[in-house]
Amino acid sequence: MKNRFYVVFLAVVAIFATGCTQIETGEVGLRKTFNGTIEEQELGTGWHQTLVGSVIVFAAKEILLSEENLTPQSKDKSTLKDFDMTFTYTVDPKEVSYFYTKYSYTAHLTQEKHKEIFPMGVFVTAIVRAAAYSAVAEFDALEVNNNRTKIEQRIVEIANKKLEHEKLQRKADIVMVNVKNIQLADIVVESANRAVNAQNDLVTKTTEVLIATQEGLRIKALAQQSGPGYIQLLYAQSNQTRAEALLTAAKNKSTIWVVPQNFTALGGIGSIAGRSANE
């Protein structure tokens, strides 16, 4: 009797396990009847029988998707070599039935690995991609990397405005965009490097010109010092020094040797000595 009960119990469990679908937290389900009709009421967390009909599982949490290898054009008409980003979006779990019955199957993204559907995944991705192209077009190529945060914000704003235009505000929303990679076109990078090198050369040459200018001013000042005025100054200073020396000698009652003003060589000493001997 016990064995029979055990067999029946196992049979019930097997039927229950194979004839039910589990909806986990962060998911919602839609029941598809045996004749293909989609019921409008979303199914919440728990086990739902699928002996008759089936249950389609949808993700109802914040969903992360990526867009890579984009080539948007900047404001100055330069096409980026690569642009990669990730973004998250949410849908109102109560609107899953509306999305699935109003939009075609191709508007949703199927994740075979997780056996669930991202509602409006393909539709939203296209909007975010277009928003990225529009956001990048607001900046010149050399400004794109420095304005990454602004571009992320603009993508969110533009995409949500488009959803609002489609009458989907609060039903689906772009939450966040993260730009992972931006690569400028090779020709733009080469041009920027040439500009930087030219700027560095300009700074070097400007410094050289300033140094040469200062040196020129110094040489000019020295040249001016060798003119008649400077010579007169030296002559006056010489006379002052001689006068001060004579005054000091007089005070000390020293013998004073009077040297002619035009005395410039040893020959002068010989002539003085000769005149002294004759006298």
Rounded-to-integer distance, Cα 143 and Cα 74, Å: 9
Can you give the pTM of this predicted structure? 0.63
Give the pLDDT of residue 227: 63
The pLDDT, as a whole number, for residue 126 is 96
Which domains does the chain show, CATH number per domain?
1-56 (no CATH), 62-184 (3.30.479.30)
- Block means of pLDDT (10 residues each) for the chain, 279 residues, are 53 55 82 79 77 81 94 92 96 92 90 81 96 96 93 97 93 96 80 66 70 69 64 66 68 60 51 47
Q: What is the pLDDT of residue 277?
A: 43
Quick one: pLDDT at residue 274? 46
In this prediction, residue 270 carries a pLDDT of 47
Given this model, what pLDDT does residue 84 score? 97
Angle, CA 210 vertex, CA 208 and CA 214 arms, to 5°? 115
Nearest to 162 by CA among 181, 185, 135: 135
Angstrom distance (rounded) from CA 12 to CA 204: 88
